[in-house]
Protein backbone atom coordinates (compact mmCIF):
# COMPACT_ATOMS: atom_id res chain seq x y z
CA UNK A 1 0.00 0.00 0.00
CA UNK A 2 1.44 3.38 -1.00
CA UNK A 3 0.43 6.68 0.61
CA UNK A 4 1.71 9.88 -0.94
CA UNK A 5 2.05 12.57 1.74
CA UNK A 6 3.28 15.48 -0.36
CA UNK A 7 5.54 17.47 1.99
CA UNK A 8 7.71 20.15 0.43
CA UNK A 9 10.43 19.64 3.05
CA UNK A 10 12.05 16.80 4.92
CA UNK A 11 9.71 14.53 6.90
CA UNK A 12 10.82 14.47 10.52
CA UNK A 13 8.32 12.07 12.10
CA UNK A 14 5.67 9.60 10.93
CA UNK A 15 3.52 7.51 13.26
CA UNK A 16 0.44 5.26 13.19
CA UNK A 17 -2.11 5.43 16.00
CA UNK A 18 -2.15 2.31 18.20
CA UNK A 19 -5.51 1.24 16.77
CA UNK A 20 -4.31 1.73 13.17
CA UNK A 21 -7.04 4.32 12.45
CA UNK A 22 -4.70 7.26 11.84
CA UNK A 23 -1.37 8.08 10.29
CA UNK A 24 0.24 11.41 11.22
CA UNK A 25 3.37 12.96 9.76
CA UNK A 26 5.14 16.25 10.49
CA UNK A 27 7.79 17.89 8.37
CA UNK A 28 10.57 20.46 8.23
CA UNK A 29 8.22 23.10 6.81
CA UNK A 30 5.95 22.92 9.87
CA UNK A 31 3.09 21.23 8.07
CA UNK A 32 1.27 18.14 9.28
CA UNK A 33 -0.66 15.46 7.41
CA UNK A 34 -3.34 13.41 9.14
CA UNK A 35 -4.50 10.38 7.16
CA UNK A 36 -7.67 8.44 7.97
CA UNK A 37 -6.61 4.87 7.20
CA UNK A 38 -10.17 3.51 7.46
CA UNK A 39 -11.44 5.28 4.33
CA UNK A 40 -10.98 3.59 0.93
CA UNK A 41 -9.32 6.69 -0.54
CA UNK A 42 -7.11 7.11 2.54
CA UNK A 43 -8.52 10.59 3.12
CA UNK A 44 -5.85 13.02 4.30
CA UNK A 45 -5.94 16.51 5.78
CA UNK A 46 -3.06 18.99 5.76
CA UNK A 47 -2.53 21.57 8.55
CA UNK A 48 0.13 24.11 9.36
CA UNK A 49 1.00 22.64 12.73
CA UNK A 50 3.99 24.79 13.69
CA UNK A 51 5.72 28.01 12.71
CA UNK A 52 9.01 26.49 11.64
CA UNK A 53 10.06 22.88 11.67
CA UNK A 54 7.87 20.21 13.21
CA UNK A 55 10.09 17.91 15.26
CA UNK A 56 7.95 15.03 16.42
CA UNK A 57 4.56 13.41 16.98
CA UNK A 58 3.28 10.88 19.51
CA UNK A 59 -0.14 9.23 20.01
CA UNK A 60 -1.89 8.47 23.28
CA UNK A 61 -2.41 4.78 23.98
CA UNK A 62 -6.17 5.07 23.35
CA UNK A 63 -5.61 6.75 19.93
CA UNK A 64 -7.88 9.65 20.93
CA UNK A 65 -5.17 12.33 21.01
CA UNK A 66 -1.74 13.02 19.61
CA UNK A 67 1.01 15.51 20.41
CA UNK A 68 3.25 17.48 18.07
CA UNK A 69 6.13 19.74 19.03
CA UNK A 70 8.21 22.04 16.91
CA UNK A 71 10.77 24.76 16.39
CA UNK A 72 8.29 27.46 17.45
CA UNK A 73 8.70 26.25 21.08
CA UNK A 74 5.15 24.98 21.36
CA UNK A 75 3.69 21.58 22.11
CA UNK A 76 0.21 20.98 20.69
CA UNK A 77 -2.36 18.38 21.70
CA UNK A 78 -4.68 17.40 18.84
CA UNK A 79 -7.95 15.52 18.53
CA UNK A 80 -7.71 13.56 15.24
CA UNK A 81 -11.49 13.75 14.81
CA UNK A 82 -11.51 17.56 15.12
CA UNK A 83 -8.25 19.28 14.19
CA UNK A 84 -9.57 22.84 14.32
CA UNK A 85 -8.58 23.87 17.87
CA UNK A 86 -5.52 22.16 19.40
CA UNK A 87 -4.44 22.75 22.98
CA UNK A 88 -1.23 24.81 22.79
CA UNK A 89 1.45 24.56 25.49
CA UNK A 90 4.37 26.99 25.64
CA UNK A 91 7.77 25.42 26.26
CA UNK A 92 10.08 28.19 25.09
CA UNK A 93 12.68 27.75 27.82
CA UNK A 94 13.09 24.01 27.40
CA UNK A 95 14.89 21.73 25.01
CA UNK A 96 12.57 18.75 24.74
CA UNK A 97 13.83 15.22 24.77
CA UNK A 98 11.42 12.36 24.14
CA UNK A 99 7.75 13.24 24.53
CA UNK A 100 4.89 10.90 25.39
CA UNK A 101 1.51 10.99 27.11
CA UNK A 102 1.15 10.38 30.83
CA UNK A 103 0.07 6.90 31.92
CA UNK A 104 -3.60 7.96 32.02
CA UNK A 105 -3.43 9.57 28.53
CA UNK A 106 -4.44 13.00 29.87
CA UNK A 107 -1.34 15.21 29.68
CA UNK A 108 2.01 15.27 27.85
CA UNK A 109 5.06 13.94 29.63
CA UNK A 110 8.53 15.13 28.65
CA UNK A 111 11.89 13.55 29.23
CA UNK A 112 13.88 16.75 29.65
CA UNK A 113 17.58 16.93 28.97
CA UNK A 114 19.81 17.95 31.94
CA UNK A 115 20.23 21.52 30.60
CA UNK A 116 16.45 21.86 30.44
CA UNK A 117 16.06 20.56 33.97
CA UNK A 118 18.46 23.18 35.28
CA UNK A 119 16.61 25.86 33.31
CA UNK A 120 13.42 24.66 34.98
CA UNK A 121 15.13 24.96 38.37
CA UNK A 122 16.11 28.53 37.53
CA UNK A 123 12.54 29.31 36.46
CA UNK A 124 11.07 27.97 39.71
CA UNK A 125 13.63 29.51 42.06
CA UNK A 126 14.14 32.76 40.15
CA UNK A 127 17.88 32.56 40.92
CA UNK A 128 20.92 30.33 40.61
CA UNK A 129 21.07 27.27 42.84
CA UNK A 130 23.21 27.15 45.97
CA UNK A 131 25.97 24.55 46.35
CA UNK A 132 23.76 22.52 48.69
CA UNK A 133 20.86 22.62 46.19
CA UNK A 134 23.15 21.45 43.38
CA UNK A 135 24.29 18.57 45.56
CA UNK A 136 20.72 17.63 46.53
CA UNK A 137 18.93 17.94 43.18
CA UNK A 138 21.70 17.52 40.56
CA UNK A 139 24.44 15.42 42.18
CA UNK A 140 25.79 14.24 38.82
CA UNK A 141 26.05 17.71 37.23
CA UNK A 142 28.89 20.15 37.82
CA UNK A 143 27.50 23.32 39.48
CA UNK A 144 27.32 26.27 37.12
CA UNK A 145 25.51 29.55 36.57
CA UNK A 146 22.14 28.40 35.19
CA UNK A 147 19.92 31.48 34.99
CA UNK A 148 22.18 33.36 32.60
CA UNK A 149 25.75 33.00 31.40
CA UNK A 150 26.86 36.52 32.35
CA UNK A 151 25.53 39.86 33.46
CA UNK A 152 25.50 40.94 29.82
CA UNK A 153 23.15 38.12 28.80
CA UNK A 154 20.09 40.37 28.86
CA UNK A 155 17.89 38.18 26.67
CA UNK A 156 18.13 35.20 29.03
CA UNK A 157 17.24 37.40 32.00
CA UNK A 158 14.21 38.79 30.19
CA UNK A 159 12.93 35.34 29.21
CA UNK A 160 13.13 34.08 32.79
CA UNK A 161 11.72 37.35 34.15
CA UNK A 162 8.68 37.07 31.88
CA UNK A 163 8.00 33.50 32.98
CA UNK A 164 8.29 34.49 36.63
CA UNK A 165 5.93 37.41 35.99
CA UNK A 166 3.38 35.14 34.30
CA UNK A 167 3.67 32.60 37.12
CA UNK A 168 3.18 35.34 39.73
CA UNK A 169 0.03 36.56 38.00
CA UNK A 170 -1.41 33.02 37.92
CA UNK A 171 -0.55 32.50 41.60
CA UNK A 172 -2.10 35.79 42.78
CA UNK A 173 -5.52 34.27 43.43
CA UNK A 174 -4.06 31.12 45.05
CA UNK A 175 -1.08 32.09 47.19
CA UNK A 176 -0.38 35.81 47.56
CA UNK A 177 2.99 35.30 49.29
CA UNK A 178 4.27 33.02 46.53
CA UNK A 179 2.93 35.38 43.88
CA UNK A 180 4.71 38.31 45.53
CA UNK A 181 7.96 36.33 45.65
CA UNK A 182 7.73 35.49 41.93
CA UNK A 183 7.06 39.12 41.00
CA UNK A 184 9.96 40.25 43.17
CA UNK A 185 12.30 37.79 41.42
CA UNK A 186 11.00 38.94 38.01
CA UNK A 187 11.67 42.56 38.93
CA UNK A 188 15.23 41.77 40.02
CA UNK A 189 15.94 40.26 36.60
CA UNK A 190 14.23 43.07 34.67
CA UNK A 191 14.86 46.55 36.13
CA UNK A 192 12.30 48.04 33.72
CA UNK A 193 9.51 46.52 35.83
CA UNK A 194 8.58 49.45 38.07
CA UNK A 195 5.78 47.95 40.20
CA UNK A 196 6.01 47.15 43.90
CA UNK A 197 5.45 43.35 44.05
CA UNK A 198 2.98 43.20 46.95
CA UNK A 199 0.96 46.12 45.61
CA UNK A 200 0.93 44.57 42.14
CA UNK A 201 -0.50 41.32 43.52
CA UNK A 202 -3.31 43.30 45.14
CA UNK A 203 -3.96 45.14 41.89
CA UNK A 204 -4.15 41.84 40.00
CA UNK A 205 -6.68 40.54 42.51
CA UNK A 206 -8.99 43.54 42.26
CA UNK A 207 -8.80 44.13 38.50
CA UNK A 208 -11.60 41.65 37.68
CA UNK A 209 -13.84 43.45 40.19
CA UNK A 210 -13.05 46.82 38.61
CA UNK A 211 -13.75 45.45 35.14
CA UNK A 212 -17.04 43.94 36.29
CA UNK A 213 -18.07 47.15 38.03
CA UNK A 214 -17.34 49.21 34.95
CA UNK A 215 -19.28 46.81 32.74
CA UNK A 216 -22.29 46.93 35.09
CA UNK A 217 -22.25 50.72 35.15
CA UNK A 218 -22.04 50.87 31.35
CA UNK A 219 -25.36 49.03 31.13
CA UNK A 220 -26.93 51.25 33.78
CA UNK A 221 -26.84 48.82 36.72
CA UNK A 222 -25.63 51.41 39.21
CA UNK A 223 -26.32 49.53 42.45
CA UNK A 224 -24.42 46.37 41.49
CA UNK A 225 -21.62 48.41 39.93
CA UNK A 226 -21.20 50.37 43.15
CA UNK A 227 -20.96 47.13 45.15
CA UNK A 228 -18.22 45.79 42.87
CA UNK A 229 -16.20 49.00 43.05
CA UNK A 230 -16.56 49.20 46.84
CA UNK A 231 -15.43 45.59 47.18
CA UNK A 232 -12.41 46.31 44.98
CA UNK A 233 -11.33 49.42 46.87
CA UNK A 234 -11.75 47.72 50.24
CA UNK A 235 -9.41 44.93 49.06
CA UNK A 236 -6.98 47.42 47.55
CA UNK A 237 -7.29 50.60 49.63
CA UNK A 238 -5.61 53.87 48.70
CA UNK A 239 -4.33 55.87 51.68
CA UNK A 240 -6.52 58.90 52.36
CA UNK A 241 -9.32 57.81 50.02
CA UNK A 242 -12.69 56.53 51.21
CA UNK A 243 -13.61 53.31 49.30
CA UNK A 244 -17.25 54.43 49.05
CA UNK A 245 -16.28 57.80 47.57
CA UNK A 246 -13.85 56.21 45.13
CA UNK A 247 -16.47 53.66 44.08
CA UNK A 248 -18.92 56.49 43.48
CA UNK A 249 -16.37 58.28 41.30
CA UNK A 250 -15.73 55.17 39.20
CA UNK A 251 -19.46 54.60 38.65
CA UNK A 252 -19.91 58.21 37.53
CA UNK A 253 -16.98 57.85 35.10
CA UNK A 254 -18.53 54.72 33.59
CA UNK A 255 -21.95 56.41 33.36
CA UNK A 256 -20.41 59.37 31.54
CA UNK A 257 -18.92 56.94 29.01
CA UNK A 258 -22.33 55.27 28.71
CA UNK A 259 -24.00 58.64 28.14
CA UNK A 260 -21.55 59.60 25.41
CA UNK A 261 -22.15 56.30 23.63
CA UNK A 262 -25.93 56.76 23.85
CA UNK A 263 -25.60 60.32 22.56
CA UNK A 264 -23.68 59.14 19.53
CA UNK A 265 -26.43 56.62 18.78
CA UNK A 266 -29.10 59.34 19.20
CA UNK A 267 -30.73 57.50 22.12
CA UNK A 268 -32.11 60.62 23.80
CA UNK A 269 -34.17 58.72 26.37
CA UNK A 270 -31.11 56.68 27.34
CA UNK A 271 -29.03 59.86 27.65
CA UNK A 272 -31.62 61.52 29.89
CA UNK A 273 -31.84 58.40 32.09
CA UNK A 274 -28.08 58.30 32.41
CA UNK A 275 -27.91 62.01 33.27
CA UNK A 276 -30.48 61.42 35.98
CA UNK A 277 -28.38 58.58 37.42
CA UNK A 278 -25.27 60.79 37.43
CA UNK A 279 -27.17 63.62 39.12
CA UNK A 280 -28.43 61.23 41.81
CA UNK A 281 -24.88 60.13 42.57
CA UNK A 282 -23.40 63.63 42.44
CA UNK A 283 -25.96 66.45 42.59
CA UNK A 284 -23.23 69.11 42.49
CA UNK A 285 -21.52 67.79 39.37
CA UNK A 286 -21.76 70.17 36.43
CA UNK A 287 -22.65 67.93 33.50
CA UNK A 288 -23.01 70.51 30.73
CA UNK A 289 -19.80 69.43 29.00
CA UNK A 290 -18.95 65.98 30.32
CA UNK A 291 -21.37 64.20 27.99
CA UNK A 292 -19.77 65.71 24.90
CA UNK A 293 -17.29 63.46 23.05
CA UNK A 294 -13.61 64.07 23.79
CA UNK A 295 -11.65 65.87 21.07
**Is there a domain that residue 150 lies in?**
yes
In the chain, the percentage of residues whose pLDDT exceeds 70 is 72
Closest CA to 8 of 39, 53, 44, 45: 53
Interior CA angle at 178 toward 173 and 181, to 5°? 125
Residues 38 and 90 in one domain: yes
User: Structure pTM?
Assistant: 0.41
| Number of residues that make up the chain | 295
Q: What is the pLDDT of residues 26-84, one digit of tens each?
A: 877 778 888 888 886 766 777 788 887 777 788 888 888 888 887 777 788 888 888 87
Residues 75 and 127 in one domain: no
Comparing 27-41, 185-199, 279-293, the range with the smallest average pLDDT is 279-293
Distance between CA 196 and CA 182 in Å, rounded?
Answer: 12
The residue among 142, 160, 194 that closes a domain is: 194
pLDDT (0 to 100) of residue 94: 46
**Is there a domain that residue 30 lies in?**
yes
Distance between CA 42 and CA 22 in Å, rounded?
Answer: 10
Residues 225 and 242 in one domain: yes
Torsion of CA 44, 48, 54, 59, to 10 degrees: -50
Q: How far apart are the first and last CA of the chain?
A: 70
pLDDT (0 to 100) of residue 148: 57
pLDDT (0 to 100) of residue 19: 92
Q: What is the CATH number of the domain that holds 44?
A: 2.120.10.30
- By the 8 A CB rule, do 24 and 33 touch? yes
Confidence band, pLDDT 50/70/90 cuts, at residue 119: low
Residues 185 and 215 in one domain: no
Residues whose CB is less than 8 angstroms from the CB of residue 17 and which lie 6 or more positions away in sequence, other chains included: 23, 24, 59, 63, 66, 80
The residue among 138, 172, 194 that closes a domain is: 194
- By the 8 A CB rule, do 34 and 28 touch? no
**Is there a domain that residue 2 lies in?**
no
Residues 21 and 108 in one domain: yes
Residues 189 and 125 in one domain: yes
Comparing 8-22, 98-112, 178-192, 275-289, the range with the smallest average pLDDT is 98-112
Residues 181 and 254 in one domain: no
Distance between CA 212 and CA 214 in Å, rounded?
Answer: 5
The residue among 112, 137, 161 that closes a domain is: 112
**Is there a domain that residue 169 lies in?**
yes
**Is there a domain that residue 292 lies in?**
no
- 74-79 and 66-70 beta bridge pairing: antiparallel
The better pLDDT of the pair 147, 278 is held by 278
| 96 has pLDDT over 50 | no
In the chain, the percentage of residues whose pLDDT exceeds 90 is 3
Residues 158 and 92 in one domain: no
As a whole number, mean pLDDT of residues 183-205 equals 86
Residues 140 and 226 in one domain: no
Cross-strand partners of 201? none
The better pLDDT of the pair 240, 293 is held by 240
| 5 has pLDDT over 60 | no
| 114 has pLDDT over 80 | no
Q: What is the pLDDT of residues 240-275, one digit of tens each?
A: 667 778 788 888 888 888 888 888 888 989 888 888
Distance between CA 208 and CA 214 in Å, rounded?
Answer: 10
| 97 has pLDDT over 80 | no
**Is there a domain that residue 199 lies in?**
no
As a whole number, mean pLDDT of residues 186-206 equals 86
**Is there a domain that residue 170 lies in?**
yes
Number of domains in the chain: 3
Interior CA angle at 228 toward 224 and 233, to 5°? 145
Residues 30 and 107 in one domain: yes
| 21 has pLDDT over 80 | yes
Mean pLDDT of the chain: 76
Burial of 93 from C-beta contacts in 10 A (0-12 / 13-18 / 19+): middle
Residues 185 and 153 in one domain: yes
Residues 21 and 70 in one domain: yes
C-alpha separations of 24 from 28, 37, 104, 105, 181 in Å = 14, 10, 21, 18, 43
Burial of 192 from C-beta contacts in 10 A (0-12 / 13-18 / 19+): exposed
**Is there a domain that residue 146 lies in?**
yes
> Could you tell me the residue range of the domain that residue 40 belongs to?
11-112
Amino acid sequence: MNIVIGFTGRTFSVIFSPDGHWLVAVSADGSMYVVDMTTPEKKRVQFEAHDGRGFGVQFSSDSQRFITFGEDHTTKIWNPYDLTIPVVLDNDVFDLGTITFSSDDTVPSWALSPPSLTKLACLIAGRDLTKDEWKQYFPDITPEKICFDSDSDVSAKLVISQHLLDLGIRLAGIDQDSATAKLKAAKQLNPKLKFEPKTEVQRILVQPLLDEGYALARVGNVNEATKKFQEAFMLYPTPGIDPAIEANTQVITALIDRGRALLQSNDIIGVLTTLSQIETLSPTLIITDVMLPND
